[in-house]
Amino acid sequence: MTQEQAARTPRATRPGLRLPKRHFNALDFSRLIAACGVLFWHYQHFFVPPVDYEFHVRRSISPFYHQLAWIYDYGHVAVQYFWAVSGFVFAHVYLADMSGRGRFWLARVARLWPLHVLTLCLVAVLQAVYTGLHGTGFIYHHQDLRHFLLNLVMANYWGFQDNQSFNGPSWSLSTEMVAYAVFWLLLPALRRLPIAMALPVALAMFTLVFDDILSPTAPADSLPAKMVPVVSCIGYFFGGAMVYGATLKGWLRAPVLAALSPVLALVAWHVSGMKSHGHDAAILTGTFAVLFLMVAIDLSDHDDRLRLGRKLGDASYGIYLWHFPLQLALVLLVDATIGTRAVFREGWMLNVFIVVAILAGFASHRWIERPAQRVILRLAERLKAS
């Protein structure tokens, strides 16, 4: 998500609720890096044979694994970082914009829904081909009408699902829609008390997750257990909003953020060894260590010298949604031509996948996402005028 092209047109704003910096370029660039992290984490998909059950992949067979082990093993933590960045950016865009709440959902649908639906339909077709050839789906096996409809309205990970389905990575986008709804409901109160509102929400969500309140004895397929990702997403989102509020108050200036970032990174390393929720605690503290560092860099960039980061960050949403359809298409192509997926152990194939996914992200933003966004907004204006 770009920063909503904030302040592109004059709007009524409330003084004191927006940082003077218009764009957070380092933060945008970090989204591109995070999206690439997901590419490495999901590279293991190439080694999953046609099976209809969970298959454990030995990631060490991936190309350049010994040099890139960390990103192969922990690329999935980019999802939590996306959530925290969204909370920070939404606070920057909407707290001061007094008319923003009225057009909030139109802006969200116009920005996110077209590419989501396009990739959903493409994956549905490709999965049908794959299932016809192998008798089972590729990675995500719930390809029925109910899961398609849940995906269509971006409710595919609200607790009503059996598991991830169709374009599986969109599960995190689905949980973020719930966080958007909570943000929209609380926006008037957040404007009055940004920290006092965001902090309790974040703490309440993390308490539910870390104390196992949602599912202490419930089976993994129960609704409370399935709600854990949604609750976690809300926690990270409002954690990001809280960081924005504290920065707005002057409590988190660039030197303070820069000093706290390595401290949080050390805490993340230390707590990762805890027996209970050590991994989750490390992700939480590590996420905000990176967020603090990126915001510190942006607040120090007074001359907007990092403006290129904003352009590079535009590709992140496309990379995230296109990489699984690309994987599925590559697997079908390799199965039909070479006949063995061992080719994915070659370094050149990793390079092909990463480069094509990044190029797809940039192309998607320019020729699909932005044009579709403009069409929807123009249509809405015409409907409003009539």
Q: Give the model confidence (pLDDT) of 272-304 as tens digits.
A: 888 778 899 999 999 999 999 999 999 999 888
CA distances (Å), 305 to each of 25, 212, 237, 292, 310, in order?
9, 45, 28, 19, 11
- Every domain of the chain and the residues it spans: 25-385
- Mapped onto helix, strand or coil, the DSSP state of residue 13 is strand
Angle between the N-to-C axes of helices 171-192 and 78-94, in degrees from 0 to 180, rounded to the nearest 10? 30
Token pair for residue 253?
Answer: 């200036």
pLDDT-based confidence at 219, cuts 50/70/90? low
pLDDT-based confidence at 214, cuts 50/70/90? low
Report the alpha-carbon distance of residue 235 to residue 290 in Å, rounded. Answer: 17
Centroid of chain to Cα 162: 21
When mean pLDDT is compared across 3-7, 84-88, 144-148, 298-302, the lowest value belongs to 3-7
pLDDT at residue 12, as a whole number: 67
pLDDT above 90 as % of the chain: 82
Identify the residue whose tokens are 């047109």. 9
**In sequence order, which residues have a C-beta less than 8 Å from that of residue 148 and are 6 or more positions away?**
120, 124, 165, 166
238 close to 187: Cβ distance less than 8 angstroms: no
pLDDT in tens, 123-179: 999 999 999 999 999 999 999 999 999 999 999 999 999 999 999 999 999 999 999
Which amino acid is it at 79?
A: V
- Mapped onto helix, strand or coil, the DSSP state of residue 372 is helix
Q: Which residues pair with 13 in a beta bridge?
A: 97
Which of 263, 334, 328 is CA-nearest to residue 292? 263
CA angle 197, 202, 204 (to 5 degrees): 100
pLDDT at residue 221, as a whole number: 66
Which of 360, 340, 321 is CA-nearest to residue 42? 321
Q: Is 90 exceeded by the pLDDT of residue 51?
A: no
